[in-house]
Structure 1
């Protein structure tokens, strides 16, 4: 991956709907060059897809939380299988340090969030959990 690839991904990260012609114009290269680069980035798996990034207005009415889990040794596979069945669990990350898993949760109300947190805490193999409710987004550079 070179500087042109990184520039293409940076522009698409800001606006995934940007046309190939606009990318070529902004980067001052031929449209065919951009098209070839995009095809290579897609076939090599560097670009896995194009997506919609919701703004704050679309996220209103949804509570978000991070949940840190400490789990029993060798329980991770079973816990992850059960977490996949909980629709409010958007992402699960393995971590280093004090906690074993970090979950990203989104729920429509405090009642639903409370139920989900109880459900996660009751999973076999979960030793402890700590929840952090997201209040406002100050920086968002996620691509």
Structure 2
């Protein structure tokens, strides 16, 4: 991977805050030309540093969803197969490999406590899962 310049870092930070910012807005913020911003965005995309843009939902809408972090202790030889199974579950939004007492943490978002409970039960029943620990998110203080 190419070394990322300070301008690239600043551009990434601005896009992280507002992926819909116009090239003109970004150029003003960075004190460079629009062509410079367009070139840097294109290079960052070609290098795979920027892989896409995302949607950030309001706290009010997110409040209608129940989010939980499910820590998962696994049989090490079954981690790959387990990850593939978790990827097929609609309520599992992301999965992280972690250090410590647990091996994985799955981020689950469900529309009700019942569907959350079903998702957690399904995870705990998967082949290769030794045990789980679930923490329900009460509120989001900030998100970048």
TM-score for both structures, normalised by structure 2: 0.94
Separation of aligned partners in 1, 2:81 and 2:49: 29
- Structure 1 unmatched ranges of 5 or more: none
Aligned length: 141
In structure 2, what is the equivalent of residue 52 of structure 1? 55
Separation of aligned partners in 2, 1:107 and 1:62: 6
- Note the 1:58-137 alignment, pairs <5 A: 58-137=61-140
Runs of 4+ in structure 1 deviating by more than 3 angstroms, as ranges, are: none
State the SS of the aligned residue for 2:14.
Answer: helix
TM-score for both structures, normalised by structure 1: 0.94
Over the residues paired in the alignment, what is the CA RMSD in angstroms? 1.0
State the SS of the aligned residue for 2:82.
Answer: helix
Separation of aligned partners in 1, 2:59 and 2:135: 19
The Cα shift of 1:57 comes to 1.5
